[in-house]
């Protein structure tokens, strides 16, 4: 996992999203698309390291979080503002797509 991405699970998820700006990357460690996508999220995490906390959640290990947020396909990214979902993007995209989403909220 990238040095700017914090791995989390259902145990501490609520505490970790309780911040002004949090980007959560939901993935499945068995899915090859997610392995390649980690570099994209890592690039975004490094760019926003001063402003946004970037978390990753393995949906295989925390299926209850995937269920709670209606995630049935990975990769899936949710931007949380003050602990509440503000925007989401399903599927893999270029880093600029996630940067635009973040920029519209911070």
The pLDDT assigned to 35 comes to 82
Q: Is 19 exposed, middle or buried (0-12, 13-18, 19+ CB in 10 A)?
A: middle
pLDDT mean over 84-103: 95
Strands (E), 1-106: 5-8, 21-27, 53-58, 76-81, 84-90
Say which residue, 28 or 32, is predicted with more confidence.
28
pLDDT mean over 60-67: 95
The pLDDT assigned to 1 comes to 52
| pTM flag (> 0.75) | yes
Nearest to 25 by CA among 11, 39, 47, 96: 39
Q: How far apart are CA 24 and CA 29, in angstroms?
A: 15
In order of their start, the domains of the chain are 5-103 (3.40.30.10)
């Amino acid at each position: 996992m990238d040095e700017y991405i914090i791995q989390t699970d259902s145990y501490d998820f609520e505490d970790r999203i309780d911040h002004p700006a949090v980007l959560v990357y939901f993935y499945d460690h068995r899915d090859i698309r997610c392995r390649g996508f980690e570099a994209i999220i890592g690039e975004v995490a490094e760019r926003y390291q001063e402003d946004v906390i970037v978390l990753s959640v393995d949906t295989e290990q925390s299926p209850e979080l995937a269920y709670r947020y209606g995630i049935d396909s990975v990769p899936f990214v949710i931007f949380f503002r003050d602990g509440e979902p503000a925007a989401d993007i399903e599927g893999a995209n270029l880093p600029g797509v996630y940067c635009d989403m973040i920029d519209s909220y911070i």
